[in-house]
Amino acid sequence: MKKKLLLICFLLCAVLMPGQNNAVFHLDSLPPVDTITYRQIPAIQLTKPWKYQKGDDITWADSSYDDSNWQLIDPSLDLEKLPENTFENIGWFRLHIEVDSQFINQTLGLMLTQSGASEIYLDGKLLHKFGKINRINPAKEERYDPLKLPVDIRFEKTRKHLLAVRYADAAAVSDFKKRGISSAGFDIFIGRLRENIAFRYNGSIFPAVIFIFYFTFFIALCFMHLMFFIFYRTNKSNLYYSIFAAGVGLYFFWIFMRADFVYPDTINKMNYFFNHLYDIYMTALLAMLYTIFNKKLPKLFWIWSVLAAADFILGALNINIPYFGGLLFLILSIEVIRIIIVSIYRKLDGSRIIGFGVIIMILFFMLFTVLGFIGKSINFNISGWSGLIIGILAIYATSSVPISMSIYLAREFSRTSRNLAKKLVEVEDLSAKAIDQEKEKQKILENQKETLEIQVEERTSEIIKQKTIIEEKNKDITDSINYAKTIQNAILPSKELKQELFPESFVLFKPKDIVSGDFYWFAEKDGKKLIATCDCTGHGVPGALMSMIGNNILNQIVNEKGHTSPDEILNQLHKEIRKSLKQEEQNDTKDGMDIALVTFNTDSEIEFAGAQRPLWIIRNTEDASLTEIKGDKYAIGGLQAEAERKFTNHKITLSKGDRIYVSTDGFADQFNVSDKKLMTSKFKEILLSIRQKSMPEQEKFLDDYIEDWKGRREQIDDILVIGIKI
């Protein structure tokens, strides 16, 4: 019975006691100075539920305003727990404070952390603004998080005061729906100003030093291993490790920047990029391990790379696929651990050293990922031995990979140094043996020197005698060839005959050797004038002999037999060449010639036939162009059967001022010093470009051009070009 009475009394007290239906905060004490550390806030949080009203009205800052019908709410605004539409862009929070007399007229410190923009009023007067509220255009709102930056506050005269906060966060609802950021409000603390400033400094300087150290450490590792790769590109693991170190270093730099950055919008945008750096450094870590232990990247790695790249790009663009990034990180981590375990099992060199450090770091990050999935976290602000132990474990976990890599590299450097020392000893031994062998060779050479000198003198005497004999024979041969040139020149048409038959003409004749396989031929029969350019098989002496045979047969066909039609002349020439060289009897004789032959019936009518050589005509018109009349595709002489030889005759009408050209292939086939052939198309362009010049000027131009073209290059064939102006 007594227990029931006590329970009833307790329930009545609970119902009748004030406090849950109003927002009054009693400021009667503050934390003592000796409890202040960088892990403890030297202030008390104004946690009493505040009175809240959605909307905006500046009169709500007045302490006399009646807020009895306002709802009570936690100002941190956890959108997961609040009813929908409780907070929409902007609202007012009011807290009634009763101040103990010891704090009246004292300067205290007010600290605030928030995700939006706010204006703080004390007893109706504006105390401070954080950010910029834009009620008309919420898109232009400037969010600002002072990160517990102390603001001085004084409670004067009376014990009762009103603290009002005008608060806006236009992006809160969208951030909650898109990225799951549920905390949309603010937390506010009050304490002694001096201790608050000390807390602000101590609470930021120590983490800043730690994170800057980590950033500098990893970036230095990145630069060092990048230099290793640049100067020794065979070992690509240095490149992948430098990318890994850069990614981790940039992430620590971002943690440092984020801790003291006061603009939440900028932080959110940069978070898209930096929070997905694990895609880069985990992929690089995977590539490094593949390269060290497998010596190459498997096809599976490229699948991971594509998935990581997709996750990084989607994250940078703020496109959130639920659980995709976390699952990818776990998959990459499992693959890293698998490589380490397989390498250790196979007893690969360095697997234990690198594997130990990598597994420690991966397990540490996997713990964070798993805790994030289940909504838990690790508290690093624990004081005492527990906090010290957790801090040491965190430092070792994040630096385990660099430590293990340093041990591995030091071991490899030591092993390389020992191998080099052994190699140096081997080189010294080999050098000593080589020196001994060289001394023995010198002795042998000294003994053989006298014998060799006698043999050299005898050989030199014999060579001099042979040289003298060769020079005499060479002189005889050269004299004979020079005499043959005289004979060949004698059978060529004279300048007088050329001038008589074709006053406006030129003949560019440049034999490759002393005598030529090319020859030109002029004749006059029954009032008709004939010209021909002939390219015999070969050049030099063989070609010259062939040219004399061809010249003699042409004279017989025209002067003795009276043929003047070009096709008849070529048909007869083919038969006589085969007959003279007995090609019908000796099938291994392939000698013959290419020829272009023109008969001038009158000054305005010509006939042409060719054996693998064309006739070029440039008309005397304003829009002059070069016309090519091709010869037949078979040559004079050779192994062809007689029935296959039927040359085509072409009749052409010319006008005064027209120009015709016939040539052998030597000009167009000449190479320059860059092994580039002149080509027939270029030769025709040259002829067209010099059509306005006189015929002697054309001859000089072509001579100079071919000399400049070949330069120091040897002439490869005889050159013969004939031009005639009608």
pLDDT digits 0-9 by tens, 9-63? 333 333 333 334 456 788 777 776 544 444 456 778 887 789 999 989 999 999 8
Q: The CATH number of the domain where 68 resides is what?
A: 2.60.120.260
Alpha-carbon gap, residue 243 to 232, rounded angstroms: 16
> Using one digit for the tens of pLDDT, what is the confidence trace for 434-481?
788 878 877 777 777 777 777 777 787 788 888 777 777 767 666 667
Q: Is residue 1 part of a domain?
A: no
In the prediction, which pLDDT does 632 show?
93
Per-residue pLDDT band for 208 (boundaries 50, 70, 90) equals low
In the prediction, which pLDDT does 530 show?
95
Measured between its terminal Cα atoms, the distance across the chain in Å is 148
> Using one digit for the tens of pLDDT, what is the confidence trace for 220-267?
888 888 888 888 787 788 888 888 888 888 877 777 676 665 566 666
Q: Both tokens of residue 348? A: 């690969």
Please report, rounded to a whole number, the percentage of residues in the chain having pLDDT higher than 70: 82
Query: Looking at residue 124, what DSSP letter applies?
Result: T
Q: Average pLDDT in the 407-426 region?
A: 76
- How does DSSP assign 402-422, residue by residue? HHHHHHHHHHHHHHHHHHHHH
In the prediction, which pLDDT does 1 show?
40
Per-residue pLDDT band for 85 (boundaries 50, 70, 90) equals confident
Residues with Cβ within 8 Å of residue 7, at least 6 apart in sequence: none
The pTM is what? 0.45
In the prediction, which pLDDT does 510 show?
92
User: Do 554 and 645 share a domain, yes or no?
Assistant: yes
* CB-neighbour burial class of residue 323 (10 A; exposed 0-12, middle 13-18, buried 19+): exposed
| In the predicted structure, residue 588 carries a pLDDT above the cut 70 | no
User: Do 284 and 338 share a domain, yes or no?
Assistant: yes
User: Do 186 and 210 share a domain, yes or no?
Assistant: no
* Cα dist from 478 to 465, 486, 490, 544, whole Å: 20, 12, 18, 14
Per-residue pLDDT band for 86 (boundaries 50, 70, 90) equals confident
Residue type, 552: N
In the prediction, which pLDDT does 647 show?
92
User: Do 149 and 231 share a domain, yes or no?
Assistant: no
Per-residue pLDDT band for 599 (boundaries 50, 70, 90) equals very high
Q: Is residue 436 part of a domain?
A: no
In the prediction, which pLDDT does 688 show?
93
Query: Which of these, 178, 165, 25, 159, lies nearest to 101 by C-alpha position?
Result: 159
| In the predicted structure, residue 569 carries a pLDDT above the cut 90 | yes
Which range of 34-38, 191-195, 321-325, 534-538 scores highest in mean pLDDT? It is 534-538
Number of domains the chain is built from: 3
In the prediction, which pLDDT does 420 show?
75
User: Do 164 and 239 share a domain, yes or no?
Assistant: no
Per-residue pLDDT band for 341 (boundaries 50, 70, 90) equals confident
* CB-neighbour burial class of residue 513 (10 A; exposed 0-12, middle 13-18, buried 19+): middle
Show the domain range for 672.
491-725
Q: Is residue 586 part of a domain?
A: yes
Alpha-carbon gap, residue 389 to 315, rounded angstroms: 34
User: Do 48 and 150 share a domain, yes or no?
Assistant: yes
Q: Both tokens of residue 527? A: 């009032």
Q: Is residue 448 part of a domain?
A: no
Per-residue pLDDT band for 196 (boundaries 50, 70, 90) equals low
Q: Which of 199, 227, 247 is the last residue of a domain?
A: 199
Q: Which of 176, 199, 222 is the last residue of a domain?
A: 199
- Which range is least confidently modeled, 165-174, 312-321, 477-486? 477-486
Q: Both tokens of residue 496? A: 């007088």
Which range of 30-39, 178-187, 444-453, 501-510 scores highest in mean pLDDT? It is 501-510
> Using one digit for the tens of pLDDT, what is the confidence trace for 649-671?
999 999 999 999 999 999 999 99
In the prediction, which pLDDT does 22 show?
56
Per-residue pLDDT band for 294 (boundaries 50, 70, 90) equals confident
| In the predicted structure, residue 701 carries a pLDDT above the cut 90 | yes
In the prediction, which pLDDT does 382 show?
45
| In the predicted structure, residue 316 carries a pLDDT above the cut 50 | yes
Q: Average pLDDT in the 340-358 region?
A: 82
Secondary structure (3-state) at 121: strand
Alpha-carbon gap, residue 439 to 437, rounded angstroms: 5
Q: Is residue 556 part of a domain?
A: yes
User: Do 661 and 581 share a domain, yes or no?
Assistant: yes
Residue type, 373: F
Q: Which of 415, 438, 457 is the last residue of a domain?
A: 415
User: Do 137 and 227 share a domain, yes or no?
Assistant: no
User: Do 175 and 213 share a domain, yes or no?
Assistant: no
Please report, rounded to a whole number, the percentage of residues in the chain having pLDDT higher than 90: 25
Q: Is residue 435 part of a domain?
A: no
In the prediction, which pLDDT does 370 show?
62
Q: Is residue 421 part of a domain?
A: no
Per-residue pLDDT band for 89 (boundaries 50, 70, 90) equals confident
Q: Which residue has the tokens 């440039």?
A: 618
Q: The CATH number of the domain where 579 resides is what?
A: 3.60.40.10
User: Do 189 and 57 share a domain, yes or no?
Assistant: yes
User: Do 581 and 675 share a domain, yes or no?
Assistant: yes
| In the predicted structure, residue 98 carries a pLDDT above the cut 80 | yes
| In the predicted structure, residue 386 carries a pLDDT above the cut 70 | no
User: Do 147 and 261 share a domain, yes or no?
Assistant: no
In the prediction, which pLDDT does 290 show?
85
Q: Across the chain, what does the average pLDDT equal?
A: 80
Cβ atoms within 10 Å, residue 667: 23
Secondary structure (3-state) at 71: strand
Q: Is residue 428 part of a domain?
A: no
